[in-house]
Structure 1
């Protein structure tokens, strides 16, 4: 009998679905790096899933026709609402708006006209009629090569900005795009990136209104607040925090519970279900403990006073692992600000102006975003490193300190 896997079955199934969604465009090693396992481990999970389903190796399961049709219709509706000028009844910009504002382009048009017609009408006469100086025109003419070189550099930078923005599914704003370019070795000013993005209509995503998920149990005894809004830690596994968020799937809801390491901002555990019972947060906590090797005695876990976190079942699981529970006040989002910030980023970057049509689609895209968040998404609180990069750097520095 083989050794039991330390990874939950739902996690393994989501990892297999993530590999299959790549449709052969990503290797086992590439997908496994995002998930946090080895390529051979992911390969064995895919093989086991194929054997369990009775399929030949390499066959990729797809959506049935009804699910695909529903998804495509939902995407089309979202695009019509989101894209400017595409929605029915879209009008032209009003006169006097920023689109028609006069500026340096007026002088540029004059210089271009003079340059085009000076052989026919003469430079002096054309400059006099257009009320510009000849010396200004000749200075503009002499600077033409430098302008062309500068414009070529702008076009190249804009292409790289678009590539970064598209690679992160349109979620990155100015600061993260700038950090990504700097990470690639480019020495570029943030204000220049901001100007190009604003001029070309490139922007990150913004959050919409949210649904209430924290329902406190007035009768359950609360735990003390051991964090006191100090969402920082010197070491990994010193403090964790957690929260519940929701995803709309057709006319129903899918709930997601996450556990985050406050030091590295890494999502250690998560669980998705169609209910908000205590098992939802217990499964996420157990996954986080397994990700850290099973030994987390003395660690602080901070959450809000939702009924799931104040339940006796959750308290028993925390006691079994030696975890110290901590809770903020009722109705104060600042008392769990880190988890709130993570939830906003998740909703902004995965659920922006959209409704998932199937549970399978929502699970796959959320799992994909969580692995992307841990492995590649740059975090402002980590000096624009990803959580995985930060943990590697933190552990390396700690080993050097111990060696010294």
Structure 2
């Protein structure tokens, strides 16, 4: 049930990874990874908060969660935060924080990516628009490209479901 007519009522999250390449001292290319942890409002598909890190980690997920909780605190109804069953969303600290704030935790069924299709669709749009077919040579270069895309996505990219307005 991804549809809601209430801003900040239903939030979805997930983690995705990107690769970038750096040269070591010997001139060989090394593959490095960057991880993105966004929180999206299901009302208008706006990315409310996100963290970018060099490894999948609890700190990035918890910081993004805290910001999303703050931003959505104006919702007059019970909030739902949805995710897949990844380790980060099963952490005791994550689960406790949602319970403490009286936020309902929803999780996808095991092995069913369609249960989080809004976030998976965002990842697809993000990667098709600014990542696939390009080679990034540093963490900072890739991070900046992602930040710029999220700003564009939230403020300029028009969506049919929003009557051709941006989030």
Indicate whether the TM-score tops 0.5: yes
Q: Identify which of 50, 54, 64 aligns with 1:274.
A: 54
Per the TM alignment, residue 362 of structure 1 is displaced from its structure 2 partner at its CA by 1.1
Per the TM alignment, residue 285 of structure 1 is displaced from its structure 2 partner at its CA by 1.4
* Equivalent residue number for residue 239 of structure 1: 10
Per the TM alignment, residue 300 of structure 1 is displaced from its structure 2 partner at its CA by 0.2
Per the TM alignment, residue 358 of structure 1 is displaced from its structure 2 partner at its CA by 0.8
* Equivalent residue number for residue 20 of structure 2: 249
Contact 1:328 1:336 in 2 (8 A): yes
Per the TM alignment, residue 295 of structure 1 is displaced from its structure 2 partner at its CA by 4.8
CA RMSD of aligned residues (A): 1.5
Question: 1-side partners of 2:85 and 2:120: how far apart?
Answer: 14
Q: Does 1:264 align with 2:35?
A: no
Number of residue pairs matched by the alignment = 157
Question: 2-side partners of 1:281 and 1:380: how far apart?
Answer: 30
* Equivalent residue number for residue 356 of structure 1: 136
* Equivalent residue number for residue 386 of structure 1: 166
Q: Does 1:284 align with 2:64?
A: yes
Question: 1-side partners of 2:100 and 2:10: how far apart?
Answer: 17
Per the TM alignment, residue 371 of structure 1 is displaced from its structure 2 partner at its CA by 0.9
Q: Identify which of 359, 373, 376 aligns with 2:156.
A: 376
2:90 aligned counterpart, secondary structure:
coil
Per the TM alignment, residue 322 of structure 1 is displaced from its structure 2 partner at its CA by 2.2
Q: Identify which of 333, 351, 365 aligns with 2:145.
A: 365
Unaligned runs of 5+ in 1: 1-229, 388-404
Contact 1:278 1:309 in 2 (8 A): no
* Equivalent residue number for residue 324 of structure 1: 104
| Structure richer in strand, relative to its length | 2
Instruction: Trace 1:274-313 onto structure 2 (pairs within 5 A).
Output: 274-292=54-72, 294-295=73-74, 298-313=78-93
Runs of 4+ in 1 over 4 A off after TM superposition: 294-297
Instruction: Trace 1:131-210 onto structure 2 (pairs within 5 A).
Output: none
Per the TM alignment, residue 383 of structure 1 is displaced from its structure 2 partner at its CA by 2.5
After superposition, give the CA deviation of every residue in 1:145-194 in whole Å (9 maximum; x if it has no partner).
xxxxxxxxxxxxxxxxxxxxxxxxxxxxxxxxxxxxxxxxxxxxxxxxxx
Contact 1:255 1:276 in 2 (8 A): yes
TM-score w.r.t. length of structure 1? 0.37
Per the TM alignment, residue 290 of structure 1 is displaced from its structure 2 partner at its CA by 3.0
Work out which of the two has the higher radius of gyration on C-alpha atoms and give 1 or 2: 1
1:308 aligned counterpart, secondary structure:
helix
* Equivalent residue number for residue 344 of structure 1: 124
Question: 2-side partners of 1:243 and 1:382: how far apart?
Answer: 23
Per the TM alignment, residue 243 of structure 1 is displaced from its structure 2 partner at its CA by 1.0
| Structure richer in helix, relative to its length | 1
